[in-house]
Amino acid sequence: MTIDRIWLIGCGNMGGAMLRRWIASGVISADRVDVVNRADRDLPEGVRQARNLPEGPLPDMVMLGMKPQQIDEITGRYGDRLAGVPVLLSILAGVENATLAKRFHAGAIVRAMPNLPVGIGKGVVGLHSDDAGEAAHDAVSALMAPLGLVEWMSDESLFDVVTALAGSGPGFLYRVIDALAAGGAALGLPDDQAQRMAIATVEGSAMLASAADVSPAVLADRVASPGGSTREGLNVLDRDDALKVLMRETLAAATRRNAEMAAAAR
């Protein structure tokens, strides 16, 4: 099975980022994509946009990318039209596979949670399906590969955590970068210079961590010489596990909200 023809129902920031990367990487041709949006968006040349689904046979895959709150509206408009599509892929936060299966009839239903860096091929995509066979599993994996790290989750109950860690994670990290820059500015660096240095520091550190054969915790200790300035700073972050507690509470709050949205969608 190959995914050569795609319809996107809703194509906002995340769907648009995925689509641009797919086309740029060559896994999908722009002229093989139809997008249904309430209004036209700035999408790659050749992608067709309309207010309704096109006529003719079903594509290889339909991706749901509208707001989760619109699921019943979309089901009412297109549920019958989409019956029998080989793969239905959903990037709707908090909407479970069982909820999708009650509303749509597809060869395979796959739940996906991408994050925004997929647009540059450096993202994370969490995937789960209750019914995807080997062919659909491999076809979806191949489609997602240009977006970044692809992780299939066998336990859907962990998907809310995946959403909090990977889906919301960039937002949390942007706050960390901003705080790092603000700390430098508070100690005298010009604001713009502190921000540039903070961004470059995080970028380089992440690249090193991704290529390292040891954990980030070990890398942190390697940077810190005994009695040095890095160690003094780490002592503040490590005191009473302050940073770990903060991040755990941050992820827990996002996970709870994902569970609330799932309950509402049911």
The answer on pLDDT for 265 being more than 80 is no
| Residues whose CB falls within 8 Å of the CB of residue 118, separated by 6 or more in sequence, listed in order | 14, 17, 18, 21, 124, 125, 147, 148
What contacts 33, CB < 8 A, 6 or more positions away?
5, 6, 7, 8, 19, 23, 46, 47, 48
Residue boundaries of the structural domains of the chain: 6-157, 169-261
Provide the pLDDT confidence category of residue 261 given band limits of 50, 70 and 90.
Answer: confident
Q: What is the chain's mean pLDDT, rounded? A: 95
What's the pLDDT tens digit per position in 120-160? 999 999 999 999 999 999 999 999 999 999 999 999 989 98
Residue 28 has pLDDT above 90, yes or no: yes
Asked if the 169-261 domain carries CATH number 1.10.390.10, the reply is no
Q: What's the average model confidence in pLDDT over 19-36?
A: 97
Is residue 90 within 8 Å of 37, Cβ to Cβ? no
Distance between CA atoms of residues 30 and 5, nearest Å: 10
pLDDT at 107: 96
The amino acid sitting at 165 is: L
Stretch 185-211: mean pLDDT: 97
End-to-end CA distance of the chain: 31
Full 3-state SS string of 67-95: CHHHHHHHHHHHCCCCCCEEEEEECCCCC
Residue 210 CB-density burial (10 A; 0-12 exposed, 13-18 middle, 19+ buried): exposed
Closest to 103 measured CA to CA, from 90, 121, 91: 90
Q: Please report which confidence band the pLDDT of residue 93 belongs to, taking 50, 70 and 90 as the band edges.
A: confident
Residues in the chain: 266
Distance, CA of 127 to CA of 138 (rounded, Å): 12
Q: Give me the pLDDT at residue 77, please.
A: 95
| Cα 47 to the center of its chain, rounded Å | 22
pLDDT at site 259: 86
* Nearest by Cα to 32 from 8, 52, 1, 6: 6
Is the predicted pLDDT of residue 104 greater than 80, yes or no? yes
Q: What is the mean pLDDT of residues 34-52?
A: 94
Q: Where does the chain have alpha helices with state H?
A: 13-25, 71-78, 97-103, 134-144, 159-162, 169-186, 191-211, 216-223, 229-238, 242-265
Q: What is the spatial distance between Cα 101 and Cα 129, in angstroms, rounded to a whole number?
A: 11
CATH of 6-157, one of 3.40.50.720, 3.30.565.10, 3.40.50.300, 3.40.50.1980: 3.40.50.720
Pair type for strands 6-9 and 61-64? parallel
CB count within 10 Å of CB 85 equals 20
**Per-residue pLDDT, 151:** 97
pLDDT band at 174 (very low <50, low <70, confident <90, very high): very high
Name the amino acid, one letter, at 16: G
pTM for this prediction: 0.89
- Which pLDDT belongs to residue 150? 97
